């Protein structure tokens, strides 16, 4: 029946041709084309359920690197002595990281970077995968324990993401060093590109962490969607 058919959207042609970027009003000096960092994928041709008229889909070429990077950072979180001490009701950050390592994480939130930021270059994609780990692990801890227990996370980890952070001379764990290196690399890319988009990403991530935890119940679907709109926490 025709009314059950997927709509034919001009958006698909705009995405394929780059017209959507030209419609932004920016002055592009070069021809607009899709990057070489992603590949087209075709879920309908693959026989997958696809209830959307948007049929132009992309995936990062660096999907395996995203999985590998995620595993490395989770493994360091799971082994970090400093996060083992931050817990309540037996739910430490280390335990959250170990739980993720023991699941098929490559079929879950790890995919966000590959699909939502498909055209990023290799370096930026790796950094986005790292930021994705920060968001999901720290967010899980925040939702489990709330503001009181999260204070230690802010002092030990989130503070290192802030501009102008100065180490206090205390022992720096491997994971804390990895945070420092990640923040430094993001800012180096900003300096080379002549903008502050990486810094803005970090600031939005840091602002995201202390938001109000989810209520025990929602009055209606609108309240749920309004909270989750903010709670998406995309870098």
**141 near 150, Cβ under 8 Å?**
yes
% of the chain surpassing 90 pLDDT: 28
**78 near 98, Cβ under 8 Å?**
yes
How many separate domains does the chain show? 1
Q: What is the mean pLDDT of the chain?
A: 81
What is the tens place of the pLDDT at every residue in 52-79? 888 888 999 999 999 999 999 999 888 8
Residue 13 lies in a domain: no
Q: Which tops the pLDDT comparison, 132 or 140?
A: 132
Q: What is the pLDDT of residue 113?
A: 93
What is the tens place of the pLDDT at every residue in 143-158? 776 666 677 778 888 8
Residue 143 lies in a domain: yes
Residue 23 lies in a domain: no
Quick check: 235 pLDDT over 50? no
Residue 57 lies in a domain: no
Instruction: Give the residues across from 58 on adjacent strands.
Output: 40
Residue 182 lies in a domain: yes
Domain that holds residue 85: 62-231
Residue 22 lies in a domain: no
Query: 118-132, 142-156, 216-230: which range is least confident on average?
Result: 142-156
How many whole angstroms separate alpha carbon 38 and alpha carbon 165? Answer: 35
Residue 9 lies in a domain: no
Residue 132 lies in a domain: yes
Q: What is the pLDDT of residue 182?
A: 94
Q: What is the pLDDT of residue 44?
A: 86
Quick check: 1 pLDDT over 50? no
């Amino acid at each position: 029946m025709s009314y059950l058919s997927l709509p034919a959207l001009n958006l698909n042609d705009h995405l394929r041709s780059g017209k959507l970027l030209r419609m932004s009003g920016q002055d592009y000096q070069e021809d607009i084309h899709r990057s070489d960092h992603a590949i087209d994928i075709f879920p309908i041709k693959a026989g997958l359920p696809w209830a959307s008229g948007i049929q132009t889909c992309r995936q990062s070429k660096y999907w395996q690197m995203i999985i590998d990077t995620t595993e490395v950072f989770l493994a360091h979180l799971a082994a970090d002595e400093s996060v083992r001490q931050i817990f309540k009701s037996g739910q430490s950050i280390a335990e959250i990281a170990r739980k993720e390592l023991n699941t098929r994480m490559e079929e879950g939130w790890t995919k966000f970077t590959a699909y939502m930021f498909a055209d990023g270059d290799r370096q930026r994609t790796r950094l986005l995968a790292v930021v994705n780990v920060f968001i999901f692990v720290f967010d899980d801890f925040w939702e489990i324990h709330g503001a009181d227990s999260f204070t230690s996370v802010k002092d030990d980890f989130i503070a290192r993401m802030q501009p102008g952070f100065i180490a206090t001379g205390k022992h720096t764990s491997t994971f804390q060093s990895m945070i420092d290196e990640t923040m430094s690399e993001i800012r180096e890319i900003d300096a080379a590109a002549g903008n502050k988009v990486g810094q803005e990403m970090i600031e939005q991530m840091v602002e995201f962490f202390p938001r109000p935890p989810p209520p025990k119940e929602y009055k209606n679907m609108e309240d749920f969607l309004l909270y989750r709109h903010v709670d998406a926490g995309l870098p």
